[in-house]
């Protein structure tokens, strides 16, 4: 009868240790570990922000319509890559899913940098 109680106690200690570790990471400003789904959701949110920022920059006159069209074309390609990552993950191909997600995030970062730099001119 003690063995099951010992196992549940070990599980509780491990859970508490994990919570303490995650809290310590947050207090130090370190990113907490994320799963694929959370990273994908954040990337989709960033994509939406890039599309919105492109429209805002065009209206503000910080980019031309040709520049906005170029950003839009790249944003569409990033969205397709995000969709491919999601599909690969659903099919169980985690390597392809992670590669596609990394590629998409790199593209989004580049688009954000471009828009930020255009806004500083």
- Tokens describing residue 76: 């569409």
Q: Is 31 exposed, middle or buried (0-12, 13-18, 19+ CB in 10 A)?
A: exposed
Q: Which CATH number fits domain 34-120: 1.20.5, 3.30.1490, 1.10.287, 1.10.12?
A: 1.20.5
User: How high is the pLDDT of residue 33?
Assistant: 57
Task: Name the H helices within the chain.
Answer: 2-27, 36-60, 65-90, 94-120
pLDDT in tens, the chain (121 residues): 444 444 444 544 444 545 545 554 455 555 565 899 999 999 999 999 999 999 999 999 999 999 999 999 999 999 999 999 999 999 999 999 999 999 999 999 999 999 999 987 6
Q: Cα dihedral sign for 34, 26, 42, 115?
A: negative
pTM > 0.75? no
With H, G, I as helix, E, B as strand and everything else as coil, classify residue 49: helix
List Cβ neighbours of 44 (8 Å cut-off, separation of 6 or more): 82
| Dist CA 65 CA 88 (whole Å) | 34
Alpha-carbon 108 to chain mean position: 9
């Amino acid at each position: 009868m003690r063995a099951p109680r010992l196992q549940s106690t070990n599980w509780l200690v491990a859970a508490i240790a994990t919570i303490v570790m995650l809290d310590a990471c947050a207090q130090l400003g370190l990113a907490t570990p994320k799963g694929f789904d959370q990273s994908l959701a954040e990337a989709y949110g960033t994509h939406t922000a890039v599309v919105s920022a492109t429209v805002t920059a065009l209206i503000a006159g910080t980019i031309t319509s040709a520049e906005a069209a170029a950003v839009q074309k790249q944003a569409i390609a990033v969205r397709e890559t995000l969709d491919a990552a999601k599909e690969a993950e659903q099919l169980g191909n985690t390597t392809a899913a992670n590669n596609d997600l990394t590629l998409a995030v790199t593209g989004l970062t580049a688009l954000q940098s471009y828009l930020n730099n255009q806004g500083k001119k």
